[in-house]
Amino acid sequence: MELRFRRILQNILTGILVLLTLALAFFSLITISFNFTHIKTNVYEFSMYPTLNYGVASSADKGDTVYINKYHNISRGDIVVAQTSWHSKPVIKRLVALPGDSLRIEPAEGGYNLIVNEKVLYFKPQFTDYPDDYGPGTVHGDNSAKYQEYLNFIASEENAENVKGNNIVLHEDEYFLMGDNWSASKDSLTKNLIATDGKQFNFAVNRQSIMGKVDVIVHVNENKLNAIILALLKGVFGV
């Protein structure tokens, strides 16, 4: 009886050990795979606020952390990271239009519509409030400045080959990036993005300049492991 009990106990302990070993191996495989496919960076600019909270590079406040998937296909509406020669760090922006797309900005009640291929991609209110980098309080950002940039863009003879009527038209290997915080974003409408291979576009970046898609966001004070696991589950199971 005692021998039988010992055998049962031994089998249970062996089973637990096997399960723990498999779980550890699975976790290690996921970690290695994740580290291989992703690049980590912190958010240091407020052009994506309030989607992403920003920090100050010279202080302990690093803002949100994002993980960039180097191998994931990119789609319209994704948050992406692009390496440009006009900024010392990679920029984090919204990919709003792809090669072959057309887009324009139109005034709407209380703000502006970004229209891509004759469909409203998103609505932007006229004002965006965000924390003041230089002291207490908030900055009252006016998004009408971005609308004016759009008007200047389509009126410029320099951009004639990329303008049809009131639409900006993208050609082959041209990707259009914008920050979610229009009032504080240097992006494709400000015409100062330059591809990493040295080829300068009037406004867009090429595919080579885009490092990848942001598919994991770890907000300030959020548990990193939980955020990564939830993002992986969402990607695999759509939960």
pLDDT in tens, 82-134: 876 556 778 899 999 999 999 999 999 999 999 999 999 999 999 888 777 65
For 117-123, the CB contacts below 8 A with 24+ separation are 121/76, 121/77, 121/96
> What is the value of pTM for the model shown?
0.76
Residues 6 or more apart whose Cβ sits within 8 Å of residue 42: 55, 57, 62, 63, 64, 65, 66
What single letter denotes the amino acid at residue 141? G
What single letter denotes the amino acid at residue 78? D
Can you give the length of the chain in residues? 239
pLDDT in tens, 165-215: 999 999 999 899 999 999 888 888 886 444 444 444 456 788 888 999 998
Closest by alpha carbon to 214, among 103, 90, 125? Answer: 90
Contact 137, 146 (CB under 8 A): no
The top-level CATH class assigned to 41-237 is: mainly beta
CA-to-CA distance for 167 and 17, rounded, in angstroms?
63
Instruction: Name the residue ranges covered by the structural domains of the chain.
Output: 41-237
